[in-house]
């Protein structure tokens, strides 16, 4: 009868050790792969976050740099400046909201596209340095605002339901009579809204500042 030669224990131990090393290498490779994938995802998210921050820095922006009493009625004159980044903005896409609250809690507001009086006195918009609408029969409102550009615009007091009303709510005389301030908001597409508090510096005197 033929006898089978059995392997020695030490040879089996070598085989078992090799198998353990092999499995360990597979596990190590899996851990390294997972780490690389995780780092790649984090780098991608960081890149996207940086790109989003850059995009936000380049969106349209506008600030109000000056405001004055414009006439003896309820008109106001403003100067605004658009950020150097961003893109051209159509005038009709810029929405203004004018609000004020009387001491008894009565709230007034008015909103429309910039340059639209909604039935009140005419509202003008022109670039700083260009001829104003005063004594200018050929005057036409600016239709597009350029990045970095500065512009004048007028606003008329009144309410949304009665923009041409005699009370001229939120205009200089109304603010002076009630001793209150007003709020002006400008909303532009692809950009942040701008808020400006309107506070009389010298009553309703023409040319006095209101910010």
Distance CA 158, CA 137 (A): 26
| Residue 31 φ then ψ, to 5° | -65, -45
Cα–Cα distance, 186 to 145 (Å, whole number): 14
What are the tens digits of pLDDT across the range 26-65? 877 778 877 888 777 777 776 666 545 544 555 789 999 9
Handedness of CA 156, 160, 163, 168 (dihedral sign): negative
Full-prediction pTM beyond 0.85? Answer: no
Q: What is the CATH number of domain 62-198?
A: 2.60.40
Percentage of the residues of the chain whose pLDDT score is greater than 90 = 46
Residue spans per domain, the chain: 9-57, 62-198
∠ Cα 134 136 141 (to 5°) = 85
Q: Which residues of 87-125 are buried (b: 16+ CB within 10 A; e: fewer)?
A: eebebeebbbbbbbbeeeeeebbbebebbbbbebbebbb
* Higher per-residue confidence, 82 vs 10: 82
Task: Report the chain's terminal Cα–Cα distance, integer Å.
Answer: 114
pLDDT tens-digit map of 100-124: 999 999 999 999 999 887 777 788 9
């Amino acid at each position: 009868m033929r006898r089978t030669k059995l392997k020695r224990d030490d040879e089996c131990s070598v085989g078992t050790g090799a198998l353990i090393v092999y499995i360990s290498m597979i596990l190590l490779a899996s851990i390294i792969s997972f780490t690389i994938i995780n780092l790649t995802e984090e780098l991608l998210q960081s890149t996207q976050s940086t790109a989003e921050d850059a995009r936000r820095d380049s969106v349209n922006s506008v600030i109000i740099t000056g405001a004055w009493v414009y006439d003896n009625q309820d008109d106001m004159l403003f100067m605004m400046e658009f950020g150097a980044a961003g893109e051209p903005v159509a005038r009709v896409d810029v929405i203004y909201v004018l609000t004020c609250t009387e001491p008894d809690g009565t709230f007034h507001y008015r909103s429309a596209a910039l340059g639209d009086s909604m039935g009140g006195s005419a509202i003008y918009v022109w670039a700083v340095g260009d001829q104003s609408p005063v004594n200018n029969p050929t005057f036409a409102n600016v239709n597009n605002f350029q990045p970095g550009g500065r512009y004048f615009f007028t606003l008329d007091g009144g309410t949304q339901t009665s923009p041409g009303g005699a009370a001229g709510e939120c205009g200089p005389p109304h603010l002076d009579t009630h001793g209150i301030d007003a709020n002006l908001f400008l909303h532009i597409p692809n950009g942040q809204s701008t808020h400006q508090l309107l506070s009389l510096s010298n009553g309703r005197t023409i040319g006095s500042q209101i910010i």
